[in-house]
Amino acid sequence: MALIALLIVSLLAGFLVVLAASRLPRSGLQAQTPHVEAGAKADPEAATGLALTLALLGLVAGGVVLAVLTFVVRGSTGGLGVDRSAASWGHRHGTTFTSDVLDAITHVGQPSSIAALAIVLAIVETVRTRNRWIAPFLLIVVAGNGILTTTIKHLADRVRPTLNPIAETLGPSFPSGHSSWSAAFFAAAALVLARGRGRQARIALAALAAALAVMIASTRVLLAVHWLSDVIAGLALGWAWFAVCSIAFGGRLMRFGAPVEQAEIAAERQDA
């Protein structure tokens, strides 16, 4: 039952991303000028503006969710009502087999695994695209998320669930590190891998990134090592930080590092 619930939640997350992405205009130009012919070339600046606007909205939404949950759990020594219900359900429906499967999935979201995946992705994509900004982008996404998550954990200092004896050895509970690391990294990986690909491929990558993040986050609840509110906050934090990084590095359709290069060009013109 626990694995079925995990699959349903993950597929639902991916479906919602597909649904949302399919409703977006095909390009910023087509969104602003509907009379443009179907074969017309999209305006990269307009499309980039749309991508950056969506990233900003993601940043605001993630920040609000994280702030609200931080305020709510601040005065709670244990889990909220929904937290305790979710933990109890997962504990009741757990078996040795499901625990083994959940453990295997949850290990993908641990810091060492995410760091290893980021290194491999950075090397492969840098060699493939000859783009020197991919490695710094992934480094900032992963390292920055780790610093933020650890800082908030120590400030909140929330107690973990007591149903799993292992939980008390894992440190503060809020927010879930596995959730934030997975949300930030897989979103960044989808962004990197989607560059230069078609619309359907971009949507599929975004959906897969969301599904994987939600799947890993859900395992933390089902294994009773995190409260539900912990993983929701972790996902919000990871996606919000990814939005910050994507804005800083220019969005989906601009070259990584473009804002930095533009600043350098402007400075050279002023000196000349």
Residue 144 has pLDDT above 50, yes or no: yes
Residues in the chain: 272
CA nearest neighbour of 224 among 69, 102, 101: 102
Q: What is the pLDDT of residues 50-94, one digit of tens each?
A: 556 666 666 677 667 767 666 666 656 565 667 777 777 777 777
CB 27 within 8 Å of CB 224? no
pLDDT of residue 32: 35
Cα 167 from chain centroid (whole Å)? 24
Average pLDDT, the chain: 76
pLDDT of residue 196: 74
Residue 35 has pLDDT above 50, yes or no: no
Parse the chain into domains and list their residue ranges. Answer: 1-19+91-261
Angle CA 93–72–75, to nearest 5 = 100
pLDDT of residue 12: 86
CB 226 within 8 Å of CB 176? yes
Q: What is the pLDDT of residues 10-21, one digit of tens each?
A: 888 888 888 887
C-alpha distances out from residue 269 to 45, 234, 256, 258, Å: 22, 43, 22, 16
Name the residue with tokens 């000028």. Answer: 33
Reported as half-sphere exposure (CB side, CA atoms, 13 A), residue 257 has a value of 11
Q: What is the pLDDT of residues 233-272, one digit of tens each?
A: 899 899 889 988 887 776 543 444 454 445 445 545 555 5
pLDDT of residue 209: 94
Is 259 exposed, middle or buried, given 0-12, 13-18 or 19+ CB atoms closer than 10 A? Answer: middle
Average pLDDT for residues 120-133, to the nearest whole number? 87
Q: Give the model's confidence band at 215: pLDDT under 50 very low, under 70 low, under 90 confident, else very high.
A: very high
pLDDT of residue 167: 75
Token pair for 46: 């307009």
Token pair for 169: 């050895």
- Return the number of other C-beta atoms located less than 10 Å from residue 18's C-beta: 18
Per-position DSSP letters for 106-136, written without gaps between them: HGGGSHHHHHHHHHHHHHHHHHHH--TTHHH
The C-alpha atoms of residue 233 and residue 141 are separated, in whole angstroms, by 17
pLDDT of residue 24: 67
CB 249 within 8 Å of CB 85? no
Q: What is the pLDDT of residues 150-183, one digit of tens each?
A: 988 888 878 888 777 787 778 888 888 999 999 9
The C-alpha atoms of residue 145 and residue 151 are separated, in whole angstroms, by 10
Per-position DSSP letters for 38-76, written without gaps between them: TTSPP-HHHHHHHHHHHHHHHHHHHHHHHHHHHHHHHT-
